[in-house]
């Protein structure tokens, strides 16, 4: 999830770091207008509610890498930003945000940020209960539980869901979203993909938004057919 972990703005709860007495992070919060003091990047976490989680620290956003790599390169090298750890200045003295990939590497945080870097809420009532994560574990979301990746996963789900809502609700753009779910590698969160596309059988279908399409595919042939299906729908819409 893209986030500003020590956001210096005055928004309630925008600074997600623990107090200075609990965390030794130098910039707590960051300094407004000085990017070198702000912890802007992406955080990720893995784990299940019944176990101590595996959480990563903060990594620089690929878009801030200042290199010549293309979007295609980043898509083909999704782990490339592992070599782009956020510049050392913002995380000075932060023991648990240095992207060392050890357990509980988010322990300098007092909470998961209330919104992602783009302003999408990470906690949206009970909407997340439509997710595969919730269906598997039935655990209520807690923004202060940083001991496992489940809650960060739910926060990411909420941010993604809310980003789609903002897009679909834009009456100036009238965007239609099409999603494809590759089910051949452990499955996908069908509920989320249907919500993103605002399909008629989604758990949040709105007649005031454009109705999109969700297509599932289990192998390479299925993927090719899925893209053809989406292309046909777009052509039909354009007529």
In this structure, the number of other CB atoms found within 10 A of the CB of residue 36 comes to 11
Asked if omega into 29 is within 30° of 0 (cis), the reply is yes
* 34/79: higher pLDDT: 34
pTM equals 0.87
DSSP string, the chain: -EEETB--S-STT-B-BPPTTT---SSSS--TT-GGG--EEEEEEE--TTS--EEEEEE--GGGS-S---HHHHHH-TTGGGG-B--TTTTTT-TT-S----BTTTTTBSS--SB-TTS-BS--TTGGGGSHHHHHH-----TT--SSHHHHHHHHHHHHHHHHHHHHT-TTT----EEEEETTSS---HHHHHHHHT-TTSTT--TTS---EEEEESSHHHHHHHHHHHHHHHHHHH-
Mean pLDDT for the stretch of residues 199-225: 95
Q: What span, in angstroms and rounded, lies between the C-alpha atoms of 187 and 182?
A: 7
* 84/220: higher pLDDT: 220
- Show the CA angle centred on residue 89, arms to residues 84 and 90, nearest 5°: 85
83, pLDDT greater than 60: no
* Three-state SS letters, 31-73: CCCCHHHCCEEEEEEECCCCCCCEEEEEECCHHHCCCCCCHHH
Contacts by 15-18, CB closer than 8 A, 24 or more apart? 16/109, 16/110, 16/111, 16/112, 16/113, 16/114, 17/108, 17/109, 17/110, 18/108, 18/109, 18/110
Residue whose structure tokens are 């620089």: 60
User: How confident is residue 67, by pLDDT bands cut at 50, 70 and 90?
Assistant: low
- Which residues partner with 42 through β-bridges? 2, 59
Tell me the pLDDT tens digit for each residue of 175-189.
Answer: 999 999 999 878 899
Pairing type for strands 213-217 and 54-59 reads unpaired
In this structure, the number of other CB atoms found within 10 A of the CB of residue 126 comes to 9
Task: Give the start-to-end residue ranges of the domains of the chain.
Answer: 2-167, 171-238
What local confidence, expressed as pLDDT, does residue 97 receive? 85
Tell me the pLDDT tens digit for each residue of 117-148.
Answer: 999 999 988 999 999 999 988 999 999 998 77
């Amino acid at each position: 999830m893209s986030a500003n972990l020590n956001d210096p703005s005055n928004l309630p709860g925008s600074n997600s770091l623990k107090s200075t007495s609990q965390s030794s992070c130098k910039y707590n919060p960051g300094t407004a207008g000085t990017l070198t003091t702000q912890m802007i990047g992406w955080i990720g976490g893995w784990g299940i509610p019944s176990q101590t989680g595996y959480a990563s620290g903060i990594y620089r956003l690929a878009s801030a890498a200042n290199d010549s790599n293309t979007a295609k390169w980043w898509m083909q090298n999704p782990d490339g930003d592992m070599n782009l750890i956020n510049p050392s200045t913002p995380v000075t003295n932060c023991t648990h945000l240095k992207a060392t990939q050890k357990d509980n590497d988010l322990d300098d945080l007092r909470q998961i940020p209330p919104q992602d870097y783009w302003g999408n809420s990470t906690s949206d009532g009970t909407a997340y209960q439509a997710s595969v994560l919730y269906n598997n574990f039935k655990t209520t979301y807690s923004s202060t539980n940083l001991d496992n990746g489940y809650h960060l996963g739910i926060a990411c789900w909420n941010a993604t869901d809310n980003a789609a809502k903002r897009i679909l609700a834009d009456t100036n753009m009238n965007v239609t979203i099409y999603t494809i779910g590759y089910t051949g590698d452990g499955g996908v969160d069908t509920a989320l993909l249907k919500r993103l596309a605002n399909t008629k059988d989604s758990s949040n279908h709105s007649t005031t938004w454009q109705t999109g399409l969700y297509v599932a595919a289990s192998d390479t042939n299925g993927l090719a057919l899925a893209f053809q299906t989406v292309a046909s729908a777009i052509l039909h819409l354009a007529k």
